[in-house]
Every structure is written in C-alpha cells, then in structure tokens.
C-alpha cells in the first residue's frame, strides 16, 4: 500500500461522519480534523487514531468501538463492491467476493504458496509458477494470462522433466497450466481476504457456496460452515480446506463472522 493511497482515509472519514453525526453532532468537525490531519491509510493507523478521537468526543473507547463496528460494516460494503469489480476484471469470471481485498495481499500470498497439490514438479518449477502468478496478478492479466505464463514454464522444461509430470495423455501442459492458474488465483484471493478479516477483528469465517446445478458435493456440504478464522473447514469424508477453492473451478468464497 503506497502513501498516496487514501482509500481508507476517505472511507473512514465518510463512514465515521455518518456514524457520529447521529450522536455527537457538535464535536464532529473536531473528529474529522483529527482524521484529516493523520490521513490514516493503513488499518494500524486507523486503530491508533481511536484513543484521540475518544478523547475528543469525551466517550469511552468501548463506546467508540461500538461505532467502529458500524464503520466496519459500511466500509466492508464499499470494499466489497470495489474488490468484486477488480477481481472479476482479473479473472474474467463473475464471482461474488465477500470482502475488501487488495492485489498486494494476493501477491504476497502467491509468494508463500507451497503448490503441495501440484504433483511431480521440483522446487525450481514451483518457483517459476510463483513468479508467473505474481506477474499476472501484478499486471492484472487474470487467469487467462496466468495460464499462458504457466504454459510457458512447462514448455521450457527439459524433456525428462516434462515426461515426469505428463503421466496421462489427457494431462497436457496446457490443461495443467489452466488448473494451476485458476485454483491458485482463487486461493490467493481467498487467503488474502482471511488476512484482511483478521485485521478487521473478525474471529470466525464462513464458507459460502454458489448453489446451482454445477455446485460440487463438497461445496454443497461446506456451504454455511463456520469455523475459527485460523481453522480448517472439513467435510464428513475428512477433507480439510483453509479456504476455497474446494476443487477446480470452485466458485465458493469466504465471509467474515464477527463472533
């Protein structure tokens, strides 16, 4: 997040103003001055402003926290619209995302990806997968762009390495590239959303599936499951997921649950 990015300041200013106007009309101007002076553009900065604001309003931090919850609700709604737009542009799919998330977090997430589910590839290849995904998220190429980059990684491999992972005629480099691109991008975004939810103080997360004729049996079962923010969702068969995707082309997402 750059210093120039004042999204949070703007959201905080507007939302707090709405919340405070009802109760503390007289001192609202002073509070807005504090916000404008500090221009918080990270959540840590927002948090650090609260004691000063509480002092200005002559209310307890506890009371102010109640207002904060109201602010979180509003900013989440705005963030959701913003995030959904950029996510859909990137992936070329229309997926409903339930949170405010940023490219930066998704990028960091890609760098930490283990690719444990990608079989028969060595660490060098995994590093190249990471680089490809990073680049395509950074450039906003979406999953189609990521697929092309990953295909490139596979095509450049020495014949011996290629043979290792092409265990089946159907499992072509193109096919594997597509699987990896789609699932990794969705994973990166969902994991980054969980990090953001934690920062907002959400203690639990909920699995929300898109229910229609294409919904997988796992996602039907997981729909609505609520677990601790760091815990795993699980099916009766014992499959565990930290976040969607539950499978290739999964359309499920995470929602925060406050308590």
Given the rule CB under 5 A, which residues bind Zn ion? Answer: 216, 219, 246, 250, 252
User: In whole angstroms, how close is the CB of 223 to Zn ion at the nearest point?
Assistant: 9
Cα–Cα distance measured from residue 137 to residue 180, given in angstroms and rounded to the nearest whole number: 14
What string of H, E and C letters represents the secondary structure of 111-144? HCCCCCCCCCCCHHHHHHHHHHHHHHHHCCCHHH
Q: How many other CB atoms are found less than 10 A from the CB of residue 255?
A: 19
Least distance in Å: CB of 163 to Zn ion?
32
CB within 8 Å of 13: residues ≥ 6 apart: 32, 35, 36
Which of 155, 220 has the CB closer to Zn ion? 220
Distance (Å, rounded) from C-alpha 44 to C-alpha 8? 11
> Given the complex with Zn ion, which of 20 and 208 has the nearer CB atom?
208
* Closest distance of CB 164 from Zn ion, Å: 29
Cβ nearer to Zn ion, comparing 132 with 252: 252
Do residues 192 and 105 make contact, with C-beta atoms less than 8 angstroms apart?
Answer: yes
Q: Which of residues 79 and 244 has its CB atom nearest to Zn ion in the complex?
A: 244
Nearer to Zn ion, 8 or 206 (CB): 206
Cβ proximity to Zn ion, 3 vs 212, nearer residue = 212
* Cβ atoms of 96 and 244 closer than 8 Å: no
Minimum distance between the CB of residue 177 and Zn ion, rounded to whole angstroms?
Answer: 20
DSSP state of 209: P
- Contact criterion met (CB below 8 Å) for 248 and 185: no
Closest distance to Zn ion from the beta carbon of 245 (Å): 6
Q: Which residues contact 29 (CB under 8 A, 6 or more apart)?
A: none
Nearer to Zn ion, 34 or 179 (CB): 179
Min dist. Cβ of residue 234 to Zn ion (A): 15
Tell me the C-alpha distance between 20 and 23, whole Å.
5
C-alpha 128: how far from chain center:
22
Alpha-carbon distance values, 229 to 167, 198, 225, 233 (Å):
37, 7, 12, 10
In angstroms, give the least distance from the CB of 214 to Zn ion.
9
């Amino acid at each position: 997040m750059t210093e120039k990015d004042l999204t949070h300041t703007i959201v905080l200013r507007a939302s707090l103003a709405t919340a405070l106007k009802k109760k503390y009309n007289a001192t609202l101007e002073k509070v807005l001055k504090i916000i404008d002076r500090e221009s918080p553009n990270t959540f840590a900065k927002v948090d650090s402003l609260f004691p000063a604001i509480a002092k200005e309003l002559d209310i307890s931090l506890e009371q102010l926290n109640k207002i904060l919850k109201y602010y979180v609700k509003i900013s989440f709604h705005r963030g959701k619209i913003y995030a959904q737009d950029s996510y859909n542009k990137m992936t070329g799919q229309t997926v409903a995302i339930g949170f405010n998330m940023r490219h930066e977090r998704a990028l960091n997430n890609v760098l930490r990806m283990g690719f444990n589910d990608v079989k028969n590839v060595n660490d060098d290849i995994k590093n190249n997968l990471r680089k490809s995904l990073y680049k395509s998220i950074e450039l906003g190429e979406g999953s189609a762009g990521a697929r092309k980059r990953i295909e490139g990684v596979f095509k450049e491999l020495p014949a011996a390495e290629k043979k290792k992972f092409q265990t089946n005629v159907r499992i072509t480099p193109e096919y594997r590239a597509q699987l990896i691109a789609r699932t990794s991008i969705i994973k990166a975004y969902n994991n980054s959303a969980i990090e953001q939810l934690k920062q907002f103080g959400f203690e639990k997360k909920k699995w929300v599936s898109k229910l229609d004729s294409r919904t997988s049996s796992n996602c039907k079962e997981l729909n609505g499951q609520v677990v601790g923010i760091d815990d795993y969702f699980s099916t009766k068969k014992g499959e565990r997921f930290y976040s969607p995707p539950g499978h290739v082309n999964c359309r499920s997402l995470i929602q925060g649950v406050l308590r």
